[in-house]
Structures are given as C-alpha cells and as structure tokens.
Amino acid sequence: MSDVTKIVQKWHASFRKATDFDSWGQLVEAIDEYHILARQLQKQVQSTNSPDFTEEQKKTLGKIATCLEMRSASLQCTQTKEDFKLEDLKKLENIIKNIQTYNKEFPFDVQPVPLRKILAPGEEENLELEGEEDAAAGGAGSTEAFPPRAPASQGTLLPRLPSEPGMSLLTIKIEKIGLKDAGQCIDPYMTISVKDLNGVDVNPVQDTPVATRKEDTYIHFSVEVEIQRHVEKLPKGAAIFFEFKHYKPKKRFTSTKCFGFMEMDEIKPGPIVIELYKKPTDFKRKKLQLLTKKPLYLHLHQTLHKDS
C-alpha cells in the first residue's frame, strides 16, 4: 500500500468519524473532527513540494475543506436556516475516498479554503493573545464565518470594469474600522460583496489584503475596492456588505467578527461612516444588532466614475 493510499484512507476514516458524530448529535466532537480534517486537507493544498496530488486534485481537496468548515459553522449557529446540511456533506464521501481518480464537476459552488501559513508546533501558543470576545455566543457564526475566499496577504481585489457611456462605476475606499480590541485582531481583512434582497450575490466577492497598521482603536486599510457592476445596473434593494474577518488561533480558522452595509440610496461621492453589527452576517437585513454602543464605525470614501 502506497503512502498516498494510506493518507487518503486516513482522510476517509476521519470523514466517516466526523459525520458519524454529527448524525449521532455529538456536535462538539463533530466540530472538532471537521476542523482537524479541514486543516489536514488545507495543509496538503498548500504543499508545494509534494507530487502526490495534481493541482486539480488539490483544488478539489480545498473545496472539501471549505464544505467541512461550512458544516461546522452551521452546527455552531443553530438559528440560521440557510445552513450546510449533513446530507449534503455526505455527498463528498466518495470524492474524498476516490480523490486520485475523481474527475467530475464538484457538486457545490464553493471556493477552496484559503491558503494560510501553516504554523509550526508551538507557534500557535504565541498567537493566543486574542481575546475570546464572542465566547458567550459559543463561537456562533453564519456559514460565511469560514473563509471560502479568504485571502493570502495580497487579497483578491478586482480591477475597475470598462466604462460605458452614461453609466457610473463606484470605487469605495475602505479607510479604517473602529474596534475596541483592534490591537488583538490577527490577520484582519474585509470581505466585500453585493447582495440582493434575498441575500444572493450579484457581484463577484472580493477580499482586501490583510491590514497591517493598527492604531489605538482603529485598524487602517486604506485600500480601494472596485464594485463589479455599473451602479445603474444594480438590482433594486441591493446592498454592499463589508464583513470584518480575523484569524482565531485557538479555533484555527478565520471568523467574521462584525459587518456593515451600504444601501443603494447611500451611494454618493464623498466620505461615509457606517454602523457595525454583530455576527452572523444578516444578508437579508432583518435581524440587526449593533456591535457596540461606543462611537466606533467603518469609515469609507466613495468615488463615482461616469463616462459621458
């Protein structure tokens, strides 16, 4: 039996163990197993000197890792209705079992788990300075609490679209975000998306680079985001969402800490300050809870480009 076969068998056994815990209602154990397996798959995806798997196979492994994290997020956030179901996850068993010969389209529209630095033993302890600000919530988060597109340090921002006569393009500069524990956030970045009234993406989702400048209660981004649709073509009732995410070493995944949004009637040139809300991200904007009563906000600046 080859080493690769042994690795795949180990992954398959771990997958079965996790889904068994899940089906038995042992959610804490299931979450732990999902995290462990997702981490193992992610490590393989990041490996640059391993000829055991093709790039396409690594991409599939990354997508499986994303699904594992999404299922784990669903278990931690029992109030969400749009979760990733166990029966959906079980569809991946044959894929992980036969990863070396699997050549069909992946059954779910997800992106591979992010490429993060793999920490050496002992390095995690050095990062345990982060406060457990949401321990009372049991680490709750939406399925978006995990980073299907979380960036490497350079982010995933897209260039401005070509101009069209009579149409406007929007550039949003994310200047800074105010948080009472700003200095404790590890690898902070923002995910920007445009959603319709049903919470469905109408634009490609983008991630900023990781912010490196922190000052008092602020994390500075100073980065421009190009909205990937002409303003006039945005659907009625849509909103632009800004999710603040950071890495949680104790849990070993990237979590959404808070979010804010801008509605269509707020699109106008110049500065704007928007309120921050508690996670999980409510893309339908129906159950909003302010993150804090303190005067801490997300600071943005809008620029409209119109081709006459």
Q: What is the DSSP string of 218-255?
A: EEEEEEEEE-SS-GGGSPTT-EEEEEEEEEETTTTEEE
Nearest partner of 206 among 222, 228, 177, judged by Cα: 228
CA gap 259, 280 in Å, rounded = 8
Rounded to 5°, angle at Cα 39 from 123 and 76: 105
Q: What are the C-alpha distances in Å from 16 to residues 9, 27, 30, 103, 232?
A: 11, 14, 10, 22, 49
pLDDT of residue 35: 83
pLDDT of residue 118: 36
CA gap 192, 66 in Å, rounded = 19
pLDDT of residue 46: 78
Alpha-carbon dihedral angle through residues 212, 215, 218, 224, given to the nearest 10 degrees: -40
Pair type for strands 277-278 and 218-226: unpaired
pLDDT tens across the length of the chain (308 residues): 678 889 999 999 999 999 998 898 888 788 888 888 888 888 888 776 666 788 889 889 989 988 988 888 777 664 444 478 899 999 999 999 999 898 888 998 887 755 544 333 333 333 333 333 333 333 333 333 333 444 445 688 899 998 889 999 999 999 999 999 888 888 899 999 999 998 888 888 899 999 989 988 999 999 999 999 999 999 999 999 999 999 887 777 788 999 999 999 999 999 999 999 999 999 999 989 999 888 899 999 999 998 76
Domains of the chain: 3-98 (1.20.120.360), 167-307 (2.60.40.150)
CA gap 134, 279 in Å, rounded = 9
Q: Are 27 and 10 in contact (CB under 8 A)?
A: no
CA gap 17, 8 in Å, rounded = 14
Q: Which residue has the tokens 């950071």?
A: 246
pLDDT of residue 127: 33
Side-chain half-sphere of 38: how many Cα atoms within 13 Å? Answer: 31
Which residues, other chains included, contact 169 with Cβ-Cβ below 8 Å and sequence gap of 6+? 160, 161, 163, 226, 227, 230, 231, 304, 305, 306
pLDDT of residue 144: 37
Tokens of 298: 């997300």
Alpha-carbon dihedral angle through residues 279, 281, 285, 291, given to the nearest 10 degrees: 30
